[in-house]
Amino acid sequence: MGISIVTGGASGIGRAVATALVNRGDTVIVTDVNVTGAGAVADKLNTLGRGKAASAALDVSDADAVLALYRDVRDEHGRLDLVFNNAGISIGGLAEEMTLDHWNRAIDINLKGVVHGVHAAYPIMLEQGSGHIVNTASLAGLVPMPMGIPYTATKHAVVGLSLGLRAEAAERGVKVSVVCPGFVDTPLLTHINPGLPETSMSGDGRSEIKKAQPRLYTPEKLAHDIMRGIEKNQALIVAPASGRAAWRAMRFSPSGALRTAQFAVRRMRSQR
């Protein structure tokens, strides 16, 4: 089966995707800045009796490290079929609370991390004439999401990057998809602004998010959606159904989507 790389694979969406890949018989390299977590995931996946898994430490903000790892995987296995540029962090807070540290960290990981993955994988896939690049963005990359605009800005950029690259790559045998999930029950919800100056939304935001969306989507369900989207070669993989509804509403009435976002801001400010 396929040879795959998953960044941010120690938890959440990355771990669920890696599991789905191994379950179908792929060989998966689980990467994460948390090398212990990535190793634990790979060890567990190797007990499933289907595909295979290995782990590697990877800081996606380090372009040289990303390039070296992707090339090493290609050299070891002879090809690189699937790349999931998935690693990311959660940034939350009002615009006036944002520091340049918030902006730079979001750009370095959420945007440059994807850029580095594309820069490393795309030439390999062009040379072999096949492959699929899957970038993780967010519903925040399709609709206006306040109270975390560094995050929103980077996710819009990932959507634009992915769709533009898809158009370029189509006639070269390389596929490109972008994943735009709504709220998913992952550690990102409980680690907002990790290692950054605190804002009114720092720390564990899961309980606040659940007030707006009581039933959070699971990483496993999203992984199923992603695998189905890959099989269909979908440009945009938007999930769950509530996320697709929000996306449709944005396209139908941008002004209405903005009013909804403004209401959410007023509600948050009234609770401060």
Q: Return the active site residues.
A: 151
Cβ-in-10-Å burial (0-12, 13-18, 19+) of 95 comes to exposed
Q: Under a CB-based contact definition with an 8 Å cutoff, are residues 34 and 60 in contact? A: no
CA–CA gap between residue 71 and residue 140 (Å, rounded):
31
- Those residues whose C-beta lies under 8 Å from the C-beta of residue 112, and which sit 6 or more positions away, are 60, 61, 63
Residue 54 forms beta bridges with which residues? 29
C-alpha distances in Å from residue 245, one per residue of 85, 144, 257: 25, 14, 11
CA–CA gap between residue 147 and residue 143 (Å, rounded):
13
Which of 201, 16, 7 has the alpha carbon at shortest distance from 85? 7
